[in-house]
Chain A
Amino acid sequence: MFTRVRIFELTAPASPQHGPRLLELLPAPWQAGEVVSLPAPDDNRVEASLLLDSLPLPPAGWVHLGLCAVDLFVPALTYVFGASRLQEGRGLLSWNRLRPRNGAGRLERRLLTEALHELGHAAGLTHCSIHACSMHRALWPESIDLKQPSYCPSCEETLTLLLRERPADSGDSRWAP
């Protein structure tokens, strides 16, 4: 099964490290893998696809999620919360715009919701029309709060099928840079 999550912290050592906590919070079918630190990007704004491409492709049975503090954008759009390519097994999430003005608990919930969103894309899920589903597209930070940090029954079912189609865990739990 393609379910173990490896998080790459693309942040400076002095910045908050959300990876370990996120791994604890991830619900099934995702399984906590490990957190790997990588150098943070030099710029404050980074084109999402470039940073996504800098993440290593995952081995069988694994999915990679980059976690950064810099603002992500794509051509023509001022910002995006995250990026991923369908079924490629890797996704990227920035918590720069997820920080609420008050209430740290909300950041944790937003991070988890959007992490599930990007992991869903990485596994092959597309956007969902159900507003409470984490696969629903959020266009501004507060709209993430309207979603649940979980998949709707339909997305969950599709995700299970998609994960079954992936190659089984090869047993190689270590990521080789």
Chain B
Amino acid sequence: MPPPIRLLIVDDDPHLCRSLSAWFADEGCYDVTVAADGQEALERVQADGADVLLVDIKMPRMDGLELQRQLSKSSPGTTVIIMTAFGAVDTAVQAMKEGAYDYIVKPFEPEGMSRLVRKAAERQGFLRENRQLKGRLEAESPELITAGEGLMAEVLEQIEQVGPTRANVLITGESGTGKELVARKILAASERKFGPLVVVNCGALAEGVLESELFGHERGAFTGANQQRKGRLELAHRGTLFLDEIGDVPPKVQVDLLRVLEERVLCRVGGNQPVPVDFRLICATHQDLEQMVEEDRFRKDLFFRINVFRIQVPPLQDRPGDIPLLAGHFLQYFGRQTSRKFTGFSDEALALLAAHPWPGNVRELQNAVERAVVLCAGGQIEATHLPFGRSTQDHTLAGIEEAQIRRVLAGCQNVSQSAKILGIDRTTLYTKMKRYGLQRK
């Protein structure tokens, strides 16, 4: 059952308040309170909140118009309906211009009033649901996980600086460093955070397809174009366009893209009707665009357009503090996916993770943790579960022997007990431990 709608009736006429209060209380879906003037109403809203307010215009201390103004500043989530006498409709219209939801002329037709308040309550419900969904969306969106040390501290600062502006951003960095997550973080810090985010991987599409994908096409523009289709640039209207692998955009599309960025209008493929577009552009690449400009493989003017603010995302090996954090995050993530609980990584596994050069950056780390989750039967990830850890991929007799000795040593109190389990004498076990570089517990 949905929570009751909190209705506040604001009028200095106690008979009217009593009558309306009884009327709505009978409906069963309203939690009705009354206030004798705007000041009292404002205090009630600030103390207890309210969803819908039925507000008279003429009241002592604070009138309905002033209450509407105050509420639009302090509690913009409330819905105000103005109650007005027949001769004061102009004032009610003024209140609507200042943000009131609607007005109703006294005395009210029961049907009209009931419908209006029900509609306002429905709107309030949608607003509440909308806020909840947005909150959930934010909570479930992938995050940029970082300890915020060293070079990443600089990246975070840059995101904070550029986020609220309208500037185009170029994110550079090796493949797998999380450039898209940086773009999402910029979006989250911008005014357009509730607008659309349209992501296009330019490297994944052939020239003709990319052109149609970006700019859309008119019906009959080419074989198979059976109907008009909006392009990604148009879909990003009032939002953000993220062009990944911008360095892979072919020269002809570079020209078209530049024109759109300069004129803020586009023409769909096969059409000549200009379509206005308003989007913020964030580009990313792992390539050296300056070098490409020098080699005439990327247009200089387009480069200057997109390179208004540059963010360089460091490779994972340059941010060692992030490795255990990211590994822990991915472990929890894959644990949730497989409905298993993990306590974490062994010291040896963490040491291995820290020592690895990570040429594939965060993406490689993610894959390594996913693999470890598949291989791990217990609750802790061991070094042997990692792809670059020794022995799990080693199918030689020596490799298998080493893995078995390591496992038994880990589960026993001392070397003697381990030797007994392994069925060899203690001296032989010491020799093998020395050979494989294993330490006693």
Contacts and interface: CB of A to CB of B under 8 A. Distances in A.
Contact of B106 (A74, A76, A80, A137): A76
Contact of B114 (A73, A75, A129, A139): A139
- 9 closest A-B pairs (Cβ-Cβ)? A139-B111, A75-B15, A75-B19, A74-B19, A76-B16, A75-B16, A78-B107, A139-B110, A127-B26
A126 interface: yes
19 contacts: A75-B15, A75-B16, A76-B16, A76-B19, A76-B83, A76-B107, A77-B108, A77-B110, A77-B113, A78-B107, A78-B108, A78-B109, A79-B109, A79-B110, A127-B26, A127-B27, A137-B26, A137-B27, A140-B110
Contacts of A76: 16, 19-20, 83, 106-108
Interface in A74-105: 74-80
Nearest to A121: B26
B245 to A, nearest CB: 57
A126 B23 CA distance: 11
B19 A127 contact: no
Interface residues on A, range: 10 to 19
Interface residues of B, number: 19
A79 B19 CA distance: 12
Interface in B93-142: 106-111, 113-114
Most interface-central of A76, A80, A129 (chain B CB within 10 A): A76
Interface string B10-21: 000101101110
A76 B20 CA distance: 7
Contacts of B23: 74, 77
B349 to A, nearest CB: 60
Contacts of A80: 110
B107 A77 contact: yes
A35 B355 CA distance: 98
B28 interface: yes
A80 B26 CA distance: 14
B28 A126 contact: yes
B54 to A, nearest CB: 9
Interface in A54-77: 73-77
B15 A129 contact: no
Interface string B377-398: 0000000000000000000000
Interface of B: 13, 15-16, 18-20, 23, 26-28, 83, 106-111, 113-114
A154 B19 CA distance: 27
Interface of A is mostly: loop
A129 B18 CA distance: 23
A77 B16 CA distance: 9
Contacts of A127: 26-28
A120 B108 CA distance: 25
Contacts of B19: 74-77
Given A129-B28, A137-B26, A139-B114, A75 B13 contact: yes
A127 B18 CA distance: 18
A6 to B, nearest CB: 25
B423 to A, nearest CB: 76
A44 to B, nearest CB: 15
Contacts of B109: 77-79
Contacts of B107: 73, 75-78
Nearest to A143: B111
Contacts of A79: 109-110
Contacts of A137: 26-27
Interface string A122-148: 000011010000000101100000000
B7 to A, nearest CB: 14
Contacts of B108: 76-78
A74 B17 CA distance: 11
Contact of B111 (A74, A126, A140): A140
A152 to B, nearest CB: 14
A137 B19 CA distance: 16
Most interface-central of B15, B19, B108, B113 (chain A CB within 10 A): B19
Contacts of A75: 13, 15-16, 18-19, 107
Given A76-B108, A139-B110, A139-B114, A126 B26 contact: yes
Contacts of A139: 110-111, 114
Contacts of B20: 76-77
A36 B427 CA distance: 116
B118 to A, nearest CB: 11
A78 B112 CA distance: 11
Contacts of A140: 110-111
A135 to B, nearest CB: 10
A73 B106 CA distance: 13
A76 B16 CA distance: 6
Nearest to A140: B111
A126 B30 CA distance: 14
A122 to B, nearest CB: 14
Nearest to B29: A129
A80 B23 CA distance: 10
Contacts of A73: 107
